[in-house]
A and B are shown apart, each in its own frame.
Chain A
Amino acid sequence: MKLLTGIVGAAAVVLMLHHPAYAQRGRGAAATFPTGKPGAPFDPSGYWVSLITNNWRFRMVPPAKGDYAGIPISMAGKKLADAWDPTQDEATGNQCKHYGAASIMYQPTRLHITWQDDNTLRVDTDAGTQTRVFQFPSTGSGQAARAAAPGKRTWQGNSSAVWEARRANNPEASARYLKVTTTNMLAGYLRKNGVPYGESAVLTEYFDLFQERDGTTMMFVTAVVQDPVYLEQRYIVISHFRKEPDGSKWDPTPCSARW
């Protein structure tokens, strides 16, 4: 009888381990609401390179003044963009206006992502030598970290992070993606040619990580910019990043207002 119980028990364990929901829980979703590094359903740390296979002409080179194609720019935004003057940006020390949170991930860049601590994910970019900090909640409330005192505005703003459940009605059994919400940014450019976003802009990003059949690890970042002043509607773009084996191609460059 013990033998029978043992075999059936083993079978049950094997079945459970093969079940996607259990497999998912086994990767960290067992807690009511996972958070930070201990609750990570995937590990985004490492070096990543952006693959510029869409919107190439807006991303690899600074486009012509007045080229807003694809951006739901408002009249107020157009007025600012038409007055774009990189010389003035340089003179006022604003060379990094196109390297703020709302546009840095869409640049041709490499990322170096590290866990600063269990609740803080750090993203460095070699383009513009920028640093973003994603703050997870310290407890598993399932909600993004409550914004600390906003403090002084910066190019990268304040970012709160959460592992968001894909299944709205069953979060415990759900797979998750990384959702990052960023506010308190300095006004900057969505495009190198001066298409603006303002200080009231809110950036929401969704990070998906996938394993390809050939073993390649890809990360797709869907970025949603909301700006009630300079955009008529949400601006949404997707960046593609491929994981690199090491940091041998890491090449920090300073911000540039012209290139």
Chain B
Amino acid sequence: MGSHAVFGEMVNLMRTICAAAIAILIGGYVGLAQVNNEAPEGVELTGNWVSRNNTEFNTNLHRAYDFLGMPLNDAAKAWALSHSEEQASEPERQCAFYTSTYFPFGFAPLPMWKETELRTGSTVAWVVGGWLDVVPMVIWMDGRPHPSAYAPHSAAGFTTGVWENDVLTTYTTHMIANLLHRRGPHSDLATMTLRFSRHADILSLTGRIDDPVYLSEPLYASREWQFSSVPVNRSAVPCNVAYEGVREGTVPHYRPGQNPFVEETTRLWGIPLEAVQGGAETIYPEYRKKLRDKYVRPEKCVSNDVELAAGGCGGPGRLQPVIN
């Protein structure tokens, strides 16, 4: 064997070794990425989580025109002025469900479980259970990509998840245009990032919602949850359409200047309308300087009828304890 042949064999050997090393690197990396999608041993999210409701009970629910703390842009503010709550009673919308953006605002129980591949036991998805008018959220953990931008949208949207530093981090796209927690709008371009961060028996659920159509900057929302040993309702009851006062084919709305609820929050709490409308400026500490001369603190706490039914101004015994 000549020196050229020996050199050639060495080159082939090196090629083979390099190819093997690259294969190990790629294969190993992919393998580890899959491992990364399994819940870290010792971090358990499975179970029933109950909202503590120390963050205002069902934020913005009780007033038809209350966008405090929401960075709405001008388009969203215009939308809000024309929006009527009665739209929820349209036969076409009664069973439409709220989108996944409801979770970081919501007060409903948060049952969580994982779906596994039967043969290997690997985690395919986490599921956050639905509740009445909230659609369940499936969090795909198997590395599948988000669909094309033109793929069909749904209330749940399409959600993928990864474990980042032992925190389940999810990303949701493909939601239909809907309500940003019952009051404000979000478009079908909205996206949401959630982080499920467990601290002992407390689950801190923090969310970021981006929407190029209706938000001028990201909206952060969070809820505090506590682990409960008592099973919670994890399935929505079947939705039946019934007449709720709105005829099929009609869309209740308000014409410019005719929304009767615009002044309600100001009347109740003395908060100026410019803050009630929301907007990015209103969420920063320096905005208090603008408020100081405009805000009039009511002498005593008052509520509207909807709030009274939900506990009004609060008090001893109003918040139910969570059973561990």
Q: Interface on A for B, CB 8 Å cutoff?
A: 3-4, 7-8, 10-11, 14-15, 18-20, 24, 41, 49-58, 60-75, 77-78, 107-110, 126-127, 164, 166-170, 173-175, 177, 179, 206, 208, 210, 212-213, 216, 218, 220, 222, 224, 232-238, 240, 249, 251, 259
User: Are B297 and A61 interface neighbours, CB within 8 A?
Assistant: yes
A15 touches B206 (CB 8 A): no
* Complex interface bits, B203-227 against A, C-beta within 8 A gives 1, otherwise 0: 0101010000000001111111010
Known: A208-B197, A235-B54, A259-B292. A61 touches B298 (CB 8 A): no
14 contacts between A and B (CB under 8 A): A7-B17, A11-B25, A15-B24, A20-B32, A51-B284, A57-B68, A60-B68, A67-B313, A69-B314, A108-B284, A210-B206, A218-B208, A220-B206, A232-B321
| Nearest CB of A to B203, in Å | 9
19 more A-B residue pairs beyond the given contacts A15-B32, A166-B167, with a C-beta to C-beta distance below 8 A: A20-B36, A54-B221, A55-B55, A55-B59, A60-B275, A60-B288, A61-B270, A66-B301, A110-B285, A166-B40, A166-B43, A169-B42, A170-B40, A174-B40, A179-B199, A220-B197, A224-B202, A233-B321, A238-B206
* B54 with A71: CB separation less than 8 A: yes
- Known contacts A51-B220, A65-B301, A233-B319: A167-B40 contact under CB 8 Å: yes
Contact, CB under 8 Å: B295 / A61? yes
- Closest Cβ of chain A to B167, distance in Å, is 7
B224 near A236: Cβ-Cβ < 8 Å: yes
Q: How many residues of B contact A (CB 8 A)?
A: 79
Residues facing A in B145-168 (CB within 8 A) are 163-167
Q: Which residue of B lies closest to A216 (CB)?
A: B218
What is the bound-complex CA distance between A161 and B55, given in angstroms? 25
- Select one of B29, B226, B283 contacting A15, CB under 8 A: B29
Residue among A60, A70, A177, A249 making CB contact with B197, cutoff 8 Å: A177
CA distance A166 to B29 in the complex (A): 24
A69 x B221 contact (CB < 8 A): no
Bound-state Cα–Cα, A179 to B266, Å: 39
Indicate with 1 or 0, residue by residue over B280-324, a CB within 8 angstroms of chain A CB atoms.
001111111001100101111110000000011111111101100
Which residues between 166 and 215 of chain B lie within 8 Å of chain A, taking CB atoms? 166-167, 169, 193, 195, 197-199, 202, 204, 206, 208
Interface centre among A4, A72, A74, A206 (most CB of B within 10 A): A72
Q: Is B85 an interface residue (CB 8 A)?
A: no
**Residues of chain A contacted by B317 (CB below 8 angstroms):** 232
The 6 closest A-B CB pairs, nearest first, are: A167-B42, A56-B69, A108-B285, A175-B165, A68-B314, A56-B68
Q: Which of B47-63 contact A (CB under 8 A)?
A: 52-57, 59
Chain B residues whose C-beta falls within 8 Å of the C-beta of A220 in the assembled complex:
195, 197, 204, 206, 222
Q: Which of B42, B52, B167, B286 contacts A236 (CB 8 A)?
A: B52
Q: B25 contacts A14, CB within 8 Å?
A: yes
A126 → chain B, closest Cβ, in Å?
8
Of the residues B18, B40, B167, B275, contact of A7 by C-beta under 8 Å: B18
Given the known inter-chain contacts A66-B301, A68-B315, A69-B313, please indicate yes or no for A222 contacting B55, CB distance below 8 A: no
Q: Which residue of B lies closest to A7 (CB)?
A: B21
B79 contacts the other chain (CB 8 A)? no
In the complex, chain B residues whose CB is within 8 Å of the CB of A232: 316-317, 319, 321
